[in-house]
């Protein structure tokens, strides 16, 4: 807890006007639905957002309005103010933009500035409004853009991470969950504990979510993937993935819809247990003050017995309760 | 084409006929209710040229037939007589944002004709697209339309027609509510279903219970307490969430089964429970034939089922103890609810079996229900 400065993260959200920056952050951090974002007006200058994330991490999200007037200011007079101490730059490109050269020009400007102030910053590129592109062309377009952008940023020694996004599907959650995860310092501790917990439960899958945003923090599948990649160098993880590769984002999306629907009853939800149609059981429960856990279990034996089922349910819930202690520890003893 | 229009007399489907002037929103209603289409996407629907039929089997088998608006039903080559005599309900859609005088004239013509052919027909009028009207104007529009149709009917000399009016919009849940009411009128077993649900509510500290058709989010029955639209919305969305989450991991299993083919008979019923922070519980359990029971269980179990127990040892308790007690009480009451719900399911199966027998053996006029009065413990 000693260094409150290090747990404070500064994120710059940049991009030309109308590219969808404010819509994004409203959906992820302010519980807007995709339709609601139509009501958002233009952002004037910089809008600051302070978000507490996982207890002691504070995200300072600088949503920078994208009109040329403001933009010019950022790169000249406000340079110091804007680019000091930036940990992450998130640059949003509108795929439908007519003035791609102008977009790239601005991108280069911010990279130049960023390099001056903090060479080690992480740069994420979001190709936004992908829903406006035909489905079969999306992948191709994304790759072309990314190659181009990477080439541009090579002189500045930044490694770009890019995502195709749209507010109308779950791709937005995927992008933001990776962005935010890259900022969590003790992610390895979480991972280790999750693996341990899994060895006790022998679950199909365990996933950790952040409470307010429902972004995925960690999951057993992704941990296994990482390990495999370390072992076999560049193993193709796509081949081993049996389950829907987009499931994390979908779950985030589903649960968030649920959370919103529950607010109609003026309350929040504590846990959710689903006994699936073919022996898959889901448990979603609070694990710490800031995290939810989701456990997916497969029925091994025929537990048709109602009593037996209920005992199992209680056992799992008790296990979650026991695990709570450990995860709270990690969260607090940063 | 004509053959397709007339429902096959041998199948027992209750048919709902959806009519209205062109561009009144009939196809949009069908798409939104039965195909889970997003309301905004219905802007791009083409004009319907042929009668289309939606089959949907809930507790009873229903088919919803949508007629194109621009048709003239009184052309001699159109066998409207047989059409009207075979349907259970006629739903007429009036666009409330448009001039509705034409629609009322058209409606009266249809009523006049249909009622002569089939006096048992339920006539339902949807005053549609009310999302664009202000709150005050809605009531005015409804009153105006009701008044005019009532007067005109008197002038026509048609008596004894019962019209029901609904204010609907596809942008909120009112269309589901209206369809629920319409479908409920066609279910002969409804009174006993409601009775059973009332029993269930009484003995299980349930706040509100719905029997949903999973695909369309139409509720087939509910208990007799008034329907709170918010509760309905939450319950309907709860179904979506449960099914969506379940599907994520099931799809992959189907692949596995194709390869291994081991546990294909392991299809157990879908069930989900969610506890809310105010102590209430959302409860869903799959019933027969695409139906699901969704209940909102209220928070005061402590006073409810285990109230007496609580009073004995309730002198000085730490917060933790209270919490623990609450949790265990909740478990107990859930067990009881589980038991009651499975009883309900059994009786539901019984009713359904009996109603099938009646259909098969007797004439449809004797749709009298065999009261099997299942006790609910």
| Averaged pLDDT, A13-36 | 83
pLDDT tens, residue by residue, B318-373: 555 556 666 677 777 778 888 888 888 888 888 777 766 655 554 443 334 333 34
Please give the structure tokens belonging to residue A89. 């730059």
Q: Which H or E run includes A53?
A: strand A46-53
Q: Do A261 and B234 touch (CB under 8 A)?
A: yes
CATH number at residue B248: 3.30.450.190
For residue B375, pLDDT over 50 is answered with: no
Please give the structure tokens belonging to residue B203. 């003995």
In this prediction, residue B73 has a pLDDT band, given cuts at 50, 70 and 90, of low
A247 touches chain B (CB under 8 A): yes
Q: What is the number of domains present in chain A?
A: 2
Q: Do B273 and A277 touch (CB under 8 A)?
A: no
pLDDT tens, residue by residue, A96-108: 888 888 888 888 8
The region of weakest confidence among B8-17, B57-66, B293-302 is B8-17
Q: Do B245 and A274 touch (CB under 8 A)?
A: yes
Task: Flag whether B328 is in a domain.
Answer: no
Confidence at residue B370, expressed as pLDDT on a 0 to 100 scale: 37
Same domain, B168 and B193: no
A39 touches chain B (CB under 8 A): no
Q: What is the number of domains present in chain B?
A: 2
Looking at per-residue pLDDT, the higher value among A10 and B371 belongs to A10
Q: Do B250 and A247 touch (CB under 8 A)?
A: no
Confidence at residue A1, expressed as pLDDT on a 0 to 100 scale: 39
Nearest Cβ partner for A267 among B241, B277, B335: B277
Please give the structure tokens belonging to residue A11. 């994120």
In this prediction, residue B172 has a pLDDT band, given cuts at 50, 70 and 90, of confident
Q: Do B248 and A314 touch (CB under 8 A)?
A: no
Same domain, A172 and A207: no
B362, B369 Cβ separation under 8 angstroms = no
| Averaged pLDDT, B97-104 | 82
Residues in chain B closer than 8 A to A299 (CB atoms): 266
Same domain, A46 and A195: no
Q: Read off φ and ψ for residue A210, nearest 5 degrees.
A: -75, 150
| Averaged pLDDT, B35-49 | 69
Confidence at residue B15, expressed as pLDDT on a 0 to 100 scale: 78
For residue A256, pLDDT over 70 is answered with: yes
Nearest Cβ partner for B234 among A264, A274, A302: A264
Residues in chain B closer than 8 A to A168 (CB atoms): none
d(CA B346, CA B285) in angstroms, rounded, equals 13
Looking at B170, B186, B202, which one is the last position of a domain?
B186
| Averaged pLDDT, B252-259 | 45
* Residues belonging to chain B with any Cβ–Cβ distance to chain A shorter than 8 Å: 230-231, 233-234, 237-238, 240-242, 244-246, 248-253, 255, 263, 266-278, 280, 286, 296, 331, 335, 338-339, 342
For residue A15, pLDDT over 70 is answered with: yes
Same domain, B25 and B172: yes
Looking at B168, B186, B204, which one is the last position of a domain?
B186
Looking at B186, B217, B244, which one is the last position of a domain?
B186
B265: closest chain A residue by CA: A278
Same domain, A145 and A211: no
Which of A140-144, A190-194, B258-262, B330-334 reaches the highest mean pLDDT?
A140-144
B242: distance to nearest CA of chain A, Å? 7
pLDDT > 90 in chain B, percent = 0
Strand B271-276 relative to strand A269-275, pairing: antiparallel
Alpha-carbon dihedral sign for residues B189, B191, B197, B203: negative
ipTM above 0.85, yes or no: no
B186, B124 Cβ separation under 8 angstroms = no
Domain with B92, as residue range(s), is 14-186
Burial of B6 (0-12, 13-18, 19+ CB in 10 A): middle
DSSP letter string, B204-240: HTEEEEEEEETTT--EEEE-SSPPPHHHHHHHHHHHH
Task: Flag whether A262 is in a domain.
Answer: yes
For residue B306, pLDDT over 50 is answered with: no
CATH number at residue A328: 3.30.450.190
Strands in B137-218 per DSSP E: 163-167, 206-213
| Averaged pLDDT, A189-218 | 83
Please give the structure tokens belonging to residue A309. 């089922």
Q: Do B273 and A261 touch (CB under 8 A)?
A: no
In this prediction, residue B290 has a pLDDT band, given cuts at 50, 70 and 90, of confident
In this prediction, residue A160 has a pLDDT band, given cuts at 50, 70 and 90, of confident
Confidence at residue B321, expressed as pLDDT on a 0 to 100 scale: 58
Contacts of B49 (CB under 8 A, 6+ apart): B68
d(CA B228, CA A73) in angstroms, rounded, equals 53
Confidence at residue B151, expressed as pLDDT on a 0 to 100 scale: 87
Same domain, B239 and B110: no
CATH number at residue A174: 3.40.50.300
Domain with A123, as residue range(s), is 7-182
Q: Mean pLDDT in chain A?
A: 79
Choose, out of A261, A297, A321, the residue to mutate when testing the contact with B (most B CBs < 10 Å): A261
Q: Read off φ and ψ for residue B165, nearest 5 degrees.
A: -115, 140
pTM for this one? Answer: 0.75
Q: Do B237 and A261 touch (CB under 8 A)?
A: yes
Q: Do B272 and A310 touch (CB under 8 A)?
A: no
Same domain, B114 and B37: yes
For residue B314, pLDDT over 60 is answered with: no
pLDDT > 70 in chain B, percent = 66
Confidence at residue A298, expressed as pLDDT on a 0 to 100 scale: 76
d(CA B370, CA B114) in angstroms, rounded, equals 30
CATH number at residue B135: 3.40.50.300
Q: Do B231 and A265 touch (CB under 8 A)?
A: yes
Which of B3-12, B16-25, B148-157 reaches the highest mean pLDDT?
B148-157
């Amino acid at each position: 807890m000693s260094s409150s400065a290090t747990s404070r993260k500064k994120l710059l959200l940049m991009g030309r006007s109308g590219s969808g920056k404010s819509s994004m952050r409203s959906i992820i951090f302010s519980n807007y639905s995709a339709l609601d974002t139509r009501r958002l007006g233009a952002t004037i200058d910089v809008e600051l957002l302070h978000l507490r994330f996982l207890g002691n991490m504070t995200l300072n999200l600088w949503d920078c309005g994208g009109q040329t007037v403001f933009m010019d200011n950022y790169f000249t007079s406000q340079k110091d103010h804007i680019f000091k101490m930036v940990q992450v730059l998130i640059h949003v490109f509108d795929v439908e933009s007519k003035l791609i050269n102008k977009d790239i020009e601005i991108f280069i400007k911010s990279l130049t500035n960023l390099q001056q102030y903090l060479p080690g910053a992480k740069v994420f590129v979001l190709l936004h409004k992908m829903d406006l592109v035909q489905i079969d062309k999306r992948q191709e377009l994304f790759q072309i853009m990314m190659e181009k952008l990477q080439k541009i940023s090579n002189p500045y020694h930044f490694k770009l991470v890019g995502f195709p996004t749209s507010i109308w599907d779950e791709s937005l959650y995927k992008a933001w969950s990776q962005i935010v995860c890259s900022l969590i310092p003790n992610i390895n501790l979480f991972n280790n504990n999750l693996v341990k917990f899994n060895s006790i439960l022998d679950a199909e899958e365990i996933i950790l979510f952040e409470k307010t945003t429902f972004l995925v923090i960690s999951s057993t599948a992704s941990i296994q993937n990482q390990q495999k990649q370390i072992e076999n160098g560049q193993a193709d993880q796509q081949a081993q993935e049996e389950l829907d590769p987009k499931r994390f984002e979908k779950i985030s999306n589903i649960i968030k819809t649920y959370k919103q629907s529950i607010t109609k009853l003026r309350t929040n939800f504590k846990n959710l247990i689903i006994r699936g149609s073919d022996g898959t059981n889901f448990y979603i429960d609070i694990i710490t003050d800031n995290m939810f856990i989701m456990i997916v279990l497969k029925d091994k034996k025929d537990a048709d017995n109602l009593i037996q089922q209920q005992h199992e349910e209680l056992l799992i819930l008790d296990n979650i309760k026991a695990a709570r202690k450990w995860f709270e520890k990690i969260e607090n003893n940063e | 084409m004509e053959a397709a229009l007339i429902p096959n007399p041998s199948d027992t489907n209750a048919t709902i006929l959806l009519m209205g002037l062109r561009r009144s929103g009939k196809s949009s209603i069908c798409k939104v209710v039965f195909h889970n289409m997003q309301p905004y996407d219905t802007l791009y629907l083409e004009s319907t040229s042929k009668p289309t039929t939606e089959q949907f089997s809930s507790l009873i088998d229903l088919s919803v037939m949508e007629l194109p608006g621009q048709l003239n039903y009184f052309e001699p080559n159109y066998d409207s007589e047989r059409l009207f005599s075979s349907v259970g309900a006629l739903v007429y859609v009036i666009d409330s944002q448009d001039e509705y005088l034409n629609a009322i004239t058209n409606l009266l013509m249809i009523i006049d004709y249909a009622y002569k052919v089939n006096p048992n027909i339920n006539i339902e009028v949807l005053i549609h697209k009310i999302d664009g009207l202000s709150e005050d104007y809605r009531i005015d529009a409804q009153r105006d339309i009701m008044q005019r149709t009532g007067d005109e009917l008197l002038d026509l000399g048609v008596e004894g027609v019962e019209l029901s009016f609904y204010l609907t919009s596809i942008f909120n849940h009112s269309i589901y509510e209206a369809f629920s009411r319409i479908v409920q009128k066609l279910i002969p077993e409804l009174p006993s279903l409601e009775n059973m649900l009332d029993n269930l509510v009484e003995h299980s500290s349930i706040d509100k219970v719905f029997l949903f058709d999973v695909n369309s989010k139409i509720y087939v029955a509910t208990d007799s307490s008034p329907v709170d639209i918010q509760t309905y919305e939450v319950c309907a969305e709860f179904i979506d969430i449960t099914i969506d989450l379940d599907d994520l991991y099931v799809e992959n299993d189907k692949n596995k089964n194709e390869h291994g083919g081991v546990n294909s008979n392991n299809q157990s019923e879908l069930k989900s429970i969610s506890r809310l922070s105010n102590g209430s519980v959302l409860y869903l359990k799959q019933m027969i034939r695409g139906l699901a029971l969704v209940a909102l269980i209220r928070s005061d179990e402590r006073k409810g089922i285990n109230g007496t127990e609580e009073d004995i040892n309730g002198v000085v308790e730490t917060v933790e103890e209270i919490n623990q007690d609450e949790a265990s009480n909740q478990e107990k009451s859930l067990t009881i609810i589980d038991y009651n719900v499975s009883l309900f399911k059994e009786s539901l199966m019984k009713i359904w079996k009996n109603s099938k027998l009646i259909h098969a053996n007797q004439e449809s006029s004797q749709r009298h229900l065999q009261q099997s009065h299942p006790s609910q413990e």
